[in-house]
Amino acid sequence: MLPVSSLLYSQVLVLNRLWQAVHVCSARRAFLLLYQGSAQVVSTDPANEYATLDFPEWLQHSQDYGGGDVVGTVARRVRIPKIIVLRTFDRLPKKDVKFSRQNVFERDSHTCQYCGSRFDRAELNLDHVVPRDRGGQTNWENVVCSCVRCNTRKGNRLPHEANMRLLRVPRKPRWHPLSAFALGPQHDASWRKFVDVSFWRVELGDAA
C-alpha cells in the first residue's frame, strides 16, 4: 500500500461540463474541488459506470466500498477518484507543452526524423539539428527524435552536410488539453473514453 502522501498526488482526470477531458490534477486538488462542491466524482465502477456523485455521496460510497486506493482512517476513509467532472465553467490557463525528452518522443511519434523508422524509446536519441557547439539551441525547433544510427551518422554536422533530410520541420507543439501529453505514460485505463490519445498526432499533421 502506498503512503497517504503519495496517494494524494495520484492523478485525477478532470472533465468540463461537457464531459470533455480538460486537465489532470492531483487527488489533493480533486478533493478540494469536490469538497467545495465545484466538481463531482465520475464513477468508473462497472456496476454504475459514469454515475456522478457529489462529495457526501462519495464519502458514503467510500465507506461501503471494499477496495481501491483510499486515504483517511478506517472509520472515515475516502476513496481516491479517478475522474471528476466540473460543475462550473472553469477558465483553465493555457499552458505551454513542457519541453522534455518524453514530449519530443511523443511529438515525433517515436519516429526517427531522419530515416523515418519507429523505435522503442531506449533506442532513440534526441538530436540537435544545428549542433550545440555551432550555436544550436535545446528547444522544440532544434531538437528531434533520432535513432542511434542516424545520430551517429550525422555526428556534429548540419543535416545537409551529412546528406540527410528531416522528415519535417520541428515545431513547438500547440497545447491541446486532450493531448496525450497531459496524460503521461501511466494514465488510468478508465480515462481513455474521454481522451483521444491520437489527437496529438492529428494536430501535428495539420501543422506540418
| Interacting residues with Zn ion (CB under 5 A) | 112, 114-115, 147, 150
CB-nearer residue toward Zn ion: 114 or 191: 114
Write down the least CB distance from residue 175 to Zn ion, Å. Answer: 28
In a 3-state reduction of DSSP, which class is residue 175?
A: coil
Write down the least CB distance from residue 147 to Zn ion, Å. Answer: 3
Question: In whole angstroms, what is the distance from residue 60 CA to residue 50 CA?
Answer: 17
Question: In whole angstroms, what is the distance from residue 139 CA to residue 102 CA?
Answer: 13
CB-nearer residue toward Zn ion: 90 or 159: 159
Helices (H), 89-198: 101-107, 148-154, 180-183
Is residue 75 classed exposed, middle or buried when 0-12, 13-18 and 19+ CB atoms within 10 A define those classes? exposed
Q: What backbone torsions phi and psi does residue 114 show, to the nearest 5 degrees? A: -105, -50
Write down the least CB distance from residue 149 to Zn ion, Å. Answer: 6
CB-nearer residue toward Zn ion: 98 or 165: 165
CB-nearer residue toward Zn ion: 148 or 169: 148
CB-nearer residue toward Zn ion: 149 or 176: 149
Question: In whole angstroms, what is the distance from residue 186 CA to residue 95 CA?
Answer: 20
CB atoms within 10 A of CB 6: 10
Encoded amino acid at 174, one letter: R
Write down the least CB distance from residue 166 to Zn ion, Å. Answer: 11
The DSSP result for 1-17, as a single string, is ---HHHHTT-EEEEE-T
Write down the least CB distance from residue 164 to Zn ion, Å. Answer: 9
Write down the least CB distance from residue 179 to Zn ion, Å. Answer: 25
CB-nearer residue toward Zn ion: 20 or 117: 117
